[in-house]
Structure 1
Amino acid sequence: MDSIKISPSPLKGNINIPPSKSLSHRAIICAALSNGISRVENIVFSEDILATLEGMKAFGMEILDIDTDLKTNRSDITIKGKGYLEKLKEVIDCRESGSTLRFLIPIACLLGEKFTFTGRGKLVERPLTSYYNMFKAQGVKYSNVNGKLPLTVEGSLKPGVYELAGNVSSQFITGLMFALPLLSGDSIIEITTELESKGYVDLTLDVLHRFSINIENNKDKRFYISGNQKYIPADYKVEGDYSQAAFWMVAAVLNGEITLENLSKSSLQGDKEILNIISKMGANILNEGEHIKVTTSQTNGIVIDVSQYPDLVPVLAVLGAVSKGKTKIVNALRVRLKESDRLKAIACELKKIGANITETPDGLDIIGVSSLSGGIVDSWNDHRIAMALAVASTKCKESLIINNSRVVSKSYPEFWDDFVELGGVVDEWNMG
């Protein structure tokens, strides 16, 4: 078992925030669907991004060049798209990437040929009901194994009206937005409930526009998509990831002083809300030109509606655990269907180290304590749980051992290196 032992210490220094995984997926797909050569800059080859790259290669994308900065481990990729899709592989391995799976299924359905999508871990059982309903309405054949992966699809999408719930996952909406502009006729995506994770849809629309695909947004309730559009090659630099920056911001608030670089002040990322949340709780935040500096401060509990930024739940739970008073996280039901049941996972692990935290059906009730105890915790094979627990170590009295710590490679392969660079005291630990 891969484990990390962390001795409590403050985290201080500067950190270059890794590129947004959400934007990386989108830019790679748009470049691959273009007719010509695009350059996607500032990429980290996490497990999820590798899954999307391999998936798009199955449709004919070529990678002409990879230019990697060995100091930062950031890469610029030159991608050649053919302007049309072809079937080079029948089986597409999505690893544990929900984005890869849900983004690529509609693209496969443009070809009308048989494709099989596989995965591993929790992805195997993550729900695809929105697409199954679409398949039935569109006459697309599909089969799975008792509702789980592998999923085999065969059939073509047709222009028309696509009804999708807005409170399940924005990934289904994004997947259709990639594919529908390439159909021969016009389509509409009708959102049947309130749209949650709106920021992710905004990111999709923005990246599509950069590659010359235009979709009309009518108040986040109806999206009009003209057919016969063409993706035009573009150069795209991926901005820093606010969902990853959130871990360092909270770590600084708890015990440290961290300056964050490579974050866009004008970003459309929904997780940018982390700045407003920790500010409301009393955090010290300084905007220093192109950088954001966060320093240690006493925070107070508040009610946090996470419907638009569910990925922040684990690290906000850690912040709430050592804030004064009560923190209440609400509208988080969807995080039960992520890489782990994140409400159950973070509540279980924080309780082990002394937090006063209780699950509710759609959130968490947390009564703050002054410090945490330390001990042995588990990541639940979930990258965000592992990183959140690493942040919790800064407020522990004793060492914290995190089992299955290498799971961070799913989204942030350099996380432990950055943790040490900021002063974290880390040893690999053999659990025998």
Structure 2
Amino acid sequence: MKITRTNALKGTVSVPGDKSISHRSVMLGSIADGITEVHHFLQGADCLSSIACFRQMGIHIENDGNIVRIHGQGLHGLKSPSDVLDTGNSGTTTRLMSGILSGQNFECVINGDASIQSRPMKRIITPLSMMGASIESLRGNDCAPLKITGQKLHGIHYDSPVSSAQVKSAILLAGLYAEGETSVTEPVLSRNHTELMLKGCGGDITSVGTTATLRPVKRLEAQKIVVPGDISSAAYFMAAGLIVPSSEICIENVGINPTRDGMIRVCQAMGGDIKLENVHEVCGEPVADIIVRHSSLHGTVVEGEIIPTLIDELPIIAVMAAFAEGQTIIRDAAELKVKESDRIAVMSENLTAMGVDVTPTDDGMIINGGKIPHGAQIQSHLDHRIAMSFAVAALASEGETEIIGSDCVNISYPTFYRDLFQLAK
């Protein structure tokens, strides 16, 4: 993909459904009783991996490209798959499904692509094993492929060393099959979509501070789910509207869950003209239209409790920092090293190629902005968030930018380039 500078971005855009909520709708819909109907489901490769895995376990799932209908078979209705469960590039599918599979009455193997085979799974193996699960990393490196042999589980209280919705969710989903109460305490509250959706389908779950507590129930009820636009996808348009001169963009129906809204807060902290309109609630999730206009940005410090609310948005925040006057510091984000790529190294390498003054650190980066970057050849490392971030950077940079491996955006946002370029004036 080759991209050059544009004069302005103007118009209205609707981003695909939230990736986290789409994944969870398939998983909880599969183990609920009845038909779960999901509107605005994200048709990205990651979420389609979740559908494929549950189909392999005997769940009938209809997907017409807009509405997904999941014919749930109840908590104990999954069947032993005849082959390896392939999660593709999806860490969410791999980790959350491991929690469900730990309490089944069959044995299976989960595997994914090269990226998944290098991502850390010990963070779920440890707590699930404490619950009585039998999970073996077949290569002995605490990564996929994972062999899971279903067991009788017991509830635990787990003090998680990381604020991770995937870790928390894996434990809570295993808790559906455990004897007694299961609870997870995090250092800082991570995204809470699992808790909200469990509550919506009749789960016995409470949240106090950074602790979520689940008690097992005999059944979960199917529900109708309307998936809001994914704020992680909206983030690219928010950044583009702020850094491309003369721009004004309306991003419709975006989920603004307070465990996910850190991007909005950082944009405002950097002096961005960003406003929320038409704020309302859909299926327990707050939703709004986001209006963003070109702004003169300044540097800021992104650290501490806000990090879990924008962990996927840090690459595009680093791009914004390159266009902002002064210094931006990102810290407390060592989690970036174990995403689809080592995002600290990859962002630093590519920003440097565009002439940006950036210094990688152990847990983030320091960016001295204010000078217009120049076009360069960008290595996406097949990381969708890297590719989308530099597509946005290219629209406000001098010269031509070429993104290698640009098709990786299909993982979360198949129509990203079309939606971005149709705003260009």
Measure how far apart 1:285 and its partner are.
Answer: 1.9
Query: How far did residue 170 of structure 1 move?
Result: 2.5
Question: TM-score, normalized by length of structure 2?
Answer: 0.91
- The answer on 1:116 being equivalent to 2:109 is yes
Q: For 1:108 and 1:218, locate their aligned partners in 2 and report how far apart those are by CA, in whole Å.
A: 27
Uncovered stretches (5+) of structure 2, i.e. residues with no partner: 279-287
Checking the alignment, whether the CA contact within 8 Å between 1:199 and 1:269 is kept in structure 2 is no
How far residue 157 of structure 1 moved from its aligned partner, in angstroms, is 4.2
Q: Distance in 2 between matches of 1:205 and 1:33?
A: 15
Give the Cα–Cα distance (whole angstroms) in 1 for the partners of residues 242 and 126 of structure 2.
45
Any idea what SS the aligned residue of 2:147 has? strand
Q: Does the 8 A contact of 1:355 with 1:369 survive in 2? A: no
Distance 1:362 1:229 in 2: 43
Q: Does 1:181 find its partner at 2:179?
A: no
Matched, 1:172 2:163: no
For residues 248 and 412 of structure 1, what CA distance do their matches in structure 2 show? 13
1:366 is paired with a residue of what secondary structure? strand
Match of 2:139 among 128, 141, 145: 145
The aligned amino acid for 1:261 is E
Q: 2:219 aligns with which of 207, 230, 237?
A: 230
- Name 1:81's counterpart in structure 2: 72
Name the structure 2 match of 1:100: 93
Equivalent residues of 1:243, 1:272 under 8 A apart: no
Distance in 1, Cα, partners of 2:252 & 2:154: 43
Aligned with 2:207 (options 204, 208, 217): 217
Q: Distance in 2 between matches of 1:307 and 1:272?
A: 10
CA deviation vs aligned residue, 1:120-144 (integer Å, no higher than 9, x gap): 1311111111333245442625242
Counterpart position of 2:194 = 204
CA contact (8 A) 1:213 1:229 kept: no
Contact 1:182 1:230 in 2 (8 A): no
**Deviations 1:25-73 (CA, angstroms, capped at 9, x unpaired):** 111211111111110110121110011111122332211x4344xxxxx
Q: Distance in 2 between the 1:66 and 1:170 partners? A: 26
Compute the displacement of 1:269 (Å): 5.2
User: How far apart in 1 are the matches of 2:87 and 2:243?
Assistant: 36
Q: CA deviation at 1:225?
A: 2.0
The alpha-carbon distance between structure 1 residues 288 and 114, as it changes in their structure 2 partners (threshold 3 A), is: closer
Alignment correspondent of 2:295: 297
Contact 1:39 1:236 in 2 (8 A): yes
Cα pair distance change 1:144/1:126, threshold 3 Å: same
The one-letter code matched in structure 2 to 1:66 is N
Partners of 1:60 and 1:81 within 8 A in 2: no
- 1:377 equivalent in alignment to 2:378: yes
The answer to whether the aligner puts 1:8 opposite 2:25 as a matched pair is no
Choose 47-56 or 107-116, whichever is displaced more: 107-116
Structure 2 residue identity aligned to 1:307: I
CA contact (8 A) 2:205 2:213 kept: yes
For the residues of structure 2 that align with 1:157 and 1:417, how far apart are their CA atoms? Answer: 49
84-93 or 98-107, larger mean C-alpha shift:
84-93
Give the counterpart letter for 2:168 in structure 1. Answer: I
The alpha-carbon deviation at position 272 of structure 1 amounts to: 1.8
SS in 1 for 2:260: helix
Question: What displacement does 1:297 show?
Answer: 1.0
Following superposition, the deviation at residue 18 of structure 1 comes to: 1.4
Q: How far apart are the structure 2 equivalents of 1:86 and 1:368?
A: 54
**Residue type of the partner of 1:122?**
S
CA shift in 2, pair 1:114/1:287, >3 Å: closer
Shift of 1:189: 2.4
**What is the identity, as a one-letter code, of the residue corresponding to 1:116?**
V
Question: How far apart, in 1, do the equivalents of 2:20 and 2:135 lie?
Answer: 29
Between 35-44 and 301-310, report the one with greater CA deviation. 301-310
Deviation sequence 1:122-172 (CA, Å, 0-9, x none): 111111113332454426252421313221121314122152524163202
The residue type paired with residue 268 of structure 1 is N
Q: Residue 32 in 1 paired to residue 30 in 2?
A: yes
CA separation of 1:274 and 1:143: change in aligned 2, threshold 3 A: closer
* Contact 2:152/2:177 (<8 A) preserved: no
Helix, strand or coil: the match of 2:144? Answer: strand
Residues 26-65 of structure 1: pairs in structure 2 closer than 5 A = 26-63=24-61, 65=62
Structure 2 residue matching 1:217: 3-state secondary structure = strand
CA distance in 2, matches of 1:360, 1:19: 33
2:138 aligned counterpart, secondary structure: strand
For residue 85 of structure 1, what is the amino acid of its counterpart? Answer: L
| Contact preservation (8 Å) 2:272, 2:295 | yes
Quick check: 1:277 aligned with 2:266? yes
Q: CA RMSD in A?
A: 1.8
Query: Residues 248-304 of structure 1, C-alpha deviation per residue, up to 9 Å, x if partnerless?
Result: 00000001221111124xx32533221221112111124444532211111010101
Within a 5 Å distance, the mapping from 1:370-409 to structure 2 comes to 370-409=371-410
Tell me the secondary structure at the aligned position of residue 258 of structure 1. strand
| Counterpart selection for 2:63 from 62, 66, 76 | 66
CA contact (8 A) 1:135 1:142 kept: no
Quick one: distance in 2 between partners of 1:128 and 1:162? Answer: 19
- The 3 A distance-change label for structure 1 pair 139 and 182 is closer
Question: 1:23, CA displacement in angstroms?
Answer: 0.7
Q: 1:259 aligns with which of 220, 230, 250?
A: 250
TM-score normalized by the length of structure 1? 0.89
1:6 alignment partner AA: I
- Looking at structure 2, the residues matched to 17 and 131 of structure 1 have their Cα atoms a distance apart, in angstroms, of 31
Q: Residue type of the partner of 1:214?
A: D
TM-superposed CA distance for 1:211, in Å, is 1.0
State the percentage of identical aligned residues.
26
How far apart are residue 343 of structure 1 and its match? 0.8
The total of aligned residue pairs comes to 406
- In structure 2, do the counterparts of structure 1 residues 173 and 157 end up closer, same or farther at CA, with 3 Å as the change threshold? farther
Match of 2:307 in 1: 307
Q: Equivalents in 1 of 2:128, 2:263: separation in Å? A: 37
